[in-house]
Amino acid sequence: MSGRDGTRPESDDAAAAAVDRVFRTERTAVLATLIRQLGGDFQLAEDALQEAFAAALTAWRRDGVPDRAGAWITVAARRRAVDRLRRDRSLADRAARLAELVRLDGQEHPPVTDDAVGALDDDRLRLIFTCCHPALDPNTRVALTLRTVGGLTTREIARAFLVAEPTMGKRIVRAKRKIATAHIRYRIPAQTELPDRLRGVLRVIYLIFNEGYSAGDGDRLVRGELCGEAIRLGRLLSELLPGETEVWGLLALMLLNDARRAARVGADGGYVSLEDQDPALWDHDRIREGLRALRRATSPGPYQLQAAIAALHLQASAPTGVDWARIAQLYDALAQLAPSPVVAINHAASVAFADGPRAGLALLEPLLEDTRLAGYQPLHATHAELLRRDADVRAAARAYERALELTSNALERTELLRRLHGLPAHVQNPGPAAT
């Protein structure tokens, strides 16, 4: 028995697998195009696309999976958008939108040309740059990017960022409303705007990766789903903007750091420091991909420098073989390009490994005196570690206690306690922590 188009009906499992495959590989492109065709209406495009995927499951079980499944989804979503527009008579530009969608519906199977592929790439770029528009709150940009470009559900995003689902839902709705009410144009920035806007996009992707790589709260050190999504977005951006070296730098940085994911948590679920990790657990395919991306990052931008540091850690034959002097130089260069407390702390730590703990402690001193950083946990954890290496165990204990007060991640807390309890017994109870 054959379907109406000559294809054979599929089993429930085969049809579901096909829908899942198309959702993963083509959803973003279809959604991006649909938003453009609907004049930037994110919500209508998402609703129509969701209905199209639901319809595909039924239709493909009955008729078989079409050869051009992505085109099928596009046409089905557009027709559902037409139906919704016909029902909603409140939109001022309803007639114009309907006319455009009906015109497009007469081109169900346009030829696949270089121009068509270029337009598809432009649509995806439009979507990324709109989701990361500087008029939106930074947290909102992250949520909207994960929801719209990444295809994560509101529940998945809320779970990843440890907020209630209704809270995250409201955040995403506000973002879409802001795009509409502020008349944010659905476009790729002009060439003169591109560098600044691209930096914002890269920052959003890096924020997503960082939340996955070193979770700020909860009982997991790594949220692999967020790391994976950030890397997918980075790969997509490198395909769409292959000439932008900072894009390659960010992709290299994420790949090289994520390559150690399996080694960062022990069999007991505990934290494993870099020097104690088993290189056999590293993802060497990901390392090779990261090094290839780093080679394409030809200018010394912030992400390239961080990726180069990650590469030096991974390429050392043993922890004792790490070129700490070179890493300290790279952090010094990074501090000139993108100064921040994180960079300053890592620079101090690398100098401590290269030239001894007292050299690193001297660099930490101004940071410890900065009242703005009094509640910054990584500063106190690094201070404690350098004091321990300098054998100042009483001061190290106080610094560990302070870091513990500021830690909300369960695995980090366990590791800090382990290090504190590893100090000589007569200083394990040093009294109140320094503030």
pTM: 0.75
Q: Spell out, as residue ranges, where the chain has pLDDT lower than 70.
A: 1-12, 88-121, 215-222, 317-320, 425-435
Which residues constitute the domain of residue 50? Answer: 16-110
Q: What is the pLDDT of residues 66-93, one digit of tens each?
A: 888 888 998 898 888 888 877 765 554 5
Do the domain assignments include residue 282?
A: no
Residues 38 and 106 in one domain: yes
Which one of 110, 140, 156 terminates a domain? 110
| 106 plus 206 within the same structural domain | no
Shared domain for 126 and 150, answered yes or no, is yes
363 with 413, same domain?
Answer: yes
Q: What end-to-end distance do the CA atoms of the chain give, in Å?
A: 77
44 shares its domain with 127: no
Q: Which of 93, 110, 127 is the last residue of a domain?
A: 110
Has residue 384 been placed in a domain? yes
Residue 227 lies in a domain: no
Q: Is residue 276 part of a domain?
A: no
Does residue 250 fall inside a structural domain?
A: no
211 in any annotated domain: yes
- 82 and 128 together in one domain: no
Q: Which domain CATH number covers 377? A: 1.25.40
* Domain contains 271: no
Residues in the chain: 435
Cα angle 30-36-41, degrees, rounded to a multiple of 5: 100
Q: Would you state the pLDDT for residue 190? A: 87
Query: Please, which residues have CB within 8 angstroms of residue 294's CB and are 6 or more apart in sequence?
Result: 248, 249, 252, 256, 304, 307, 308, 311
Count structural domains, the chain: 3
Cα–Cα dist 326/305, whole Å: 11
375 and 410 in one domain? Answer: yes
Please report the pLDDT score of residue 6 as a whole number.
45
Q: In the prediction, which pLDDT does 202 show?
A: 93
**Is residue 376 included in any domain, yes or no?**
yes
Q: Can you tell me which residue has the tokens 């990790």?
A: 277
Q: Is 105 in the same domain as 116?
A: no
Same domain, 97 and 125: no
Domain identity same for 104 and 116: no
- 72 phi/psi in degrees, rounded to 5: -60, -45
Q: Do 137 and 87 belong to one domain?
A: no
For residues 246 and 256, the answer to whether their CB atoms sit within 8 Å is: no
106 and 166 belong to one structural domain? no
Of 190, 207, 222, which residue sits at a domain end?
222
